[in-house]
């Protein structure tokens, strides 16, 4: 639940930046940088995030954990992330945050959500794959960090890149899509808003989650398994 809320806070920051009237490329990059707060909170404050936990595939193929343990972890974390994301959406709505910029933040939130459900299944799947390649690489690099600054710096560029590129992150969508649903009736003239309903939101989340699993499991966890076979421990240095 905490991870769902942490990533949702990153989504809140992203939406706030996107609502600004600034150049597209700069806005995308700045929005991505703002979104980094979510993964930084997960890694530093401590929480269970589904997209990062896809790396457990590496432990499973090396027989450190069982596939049943992986499935149990993913199921519980998925449920918790979803509850956290939806809960944060309710809290953000109750706070009045979407009313900022004369309602511009609310309009941007609905625009973002409508854009997500308006993508084709193929676009959602491959976009989600690419997203979790970058997220899992960010987590992988953060593992190497010895200090707080190390971990934060490891996260910044990969996460900024996937957000700026418009790739799909399932846990972020667990906040952004419910928030869009809650706000859509109060916003007029957003393209594609007719598709923003519970059925399309659910379908989008399923496809994006599957894409995230494939991207992280195949292109990071299994790739590193074969690229860097488990080696014997080096002798201790004196």
Q: List the chain pLDDT tens, one digit each, 238 residues.
A: 988 888 888 888 788 777 766 677 677 788 888 899 999 999 999 999 999 999 999 999 999 999 999 999 999 999 999 999 999 999 999 999 999 999 999 999 999 999 999 999 999 999 999 999 999 999 999 998 999 999 999 999 899 989 988 999 999 999 999 999 999 999 988 999 999 999 999 999 999 999 999 999 999 999 999 998 864 433 444 3
- The three-state secondary structure class of 25 is helix
CA quadruple 181, 183, 186, 192: dihedral, nearest 10: -50
- Predicted confidence at residue 23, as pLDDT, reads 73
Helix residue ranges, H only, 62-197: 67-95, 104-117, 121-143, 148-164, 170-183
- Residue 180 CB-density burial (10 A; 0-12 exposed, 13-18 middle, 19+ buried): buried
Chain-centroid distance, C-alpha 216 = 12
Q: Give the C-alpha separation, 50 to 43, whole Å.
A: 12
* H or E element, residue 60: helix 56-61
- The domain 2-226 having CATH identifier 1.20.1080.10: the answer here is yes
Written as one string, the DSSP assignment of 193-225 is: GGG-SHHHHHHHHHHHHHHHHHHHIIIIIIHHH
CA max distance for the chain: 70
Q: What is the pTM of this model?
A: 0.89
CA quadruple 178, 181, 184, 185: dihedral, nearest 10: -130
Q: Give the C-alpha separation, 86 to 174, whole Å.
A: 6
Q: Give the C-alpha separation, 104 to 127, whole Å.
A: 27
Q: Give the C-alpha separation, 221 to 232, whole Å.
A: 19
Cα-Cα-Cα-Cα dihedral sign, residues 44, 35, 102, 92: negative
CB 29 within 8 A of CB 164: yes
Instruction: Parse the chain into domains and list their residue ranges.
Output: 2-226
């Amino acid at each position: 639940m905490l991870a769902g809320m942490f990533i949702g806070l990153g989504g809140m920051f992203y939406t706030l930046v996107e609502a600004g009237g600034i150049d597209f490329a700069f806005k995308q990059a700045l929005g991505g940088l703002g979104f980094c707060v979510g993964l930084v909170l997960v890694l530093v404050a401590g929480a269970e995030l589904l997209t990062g936990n896809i790396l457990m595939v590496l432990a499973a193929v090396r027989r450190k954990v069982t596939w049943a343990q992986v499935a149990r972890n993913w199921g519980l974390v998925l449920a918790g992330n979803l509850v956290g994301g939806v809960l944060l959406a309710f809290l953000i709505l109750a706070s009045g945050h979407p009313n900022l910029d004369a309602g511009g933040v609310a309009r941007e939130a609905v625009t973002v959500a409508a854009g997500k459900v308006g993508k084709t299944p193929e676009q959602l799947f491959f976009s989600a794959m690419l997203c979790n390649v970058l997220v899992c690489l960010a987590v992988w690099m953060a593992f190497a960090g010895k200090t707080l600054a190390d971990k934060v710096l490891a996260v910044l560029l990969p996460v900024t890149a996937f957000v700026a590129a418009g790739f799909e992150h399932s846990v972020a969508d667990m906040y952004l899509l419910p928030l869009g649903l809650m706000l859509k009736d109060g916003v007029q003239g957003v393209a594609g808003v007719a598709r923003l309903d519970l059925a399309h939101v659910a379908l989008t989340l399923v496809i994006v989650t599957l894409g995230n699993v494939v991207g992280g499991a195949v292109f990071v966890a299994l790739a590193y398994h074969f690229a860097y076979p488990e080696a014997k421990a080096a002798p201790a240095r004196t």
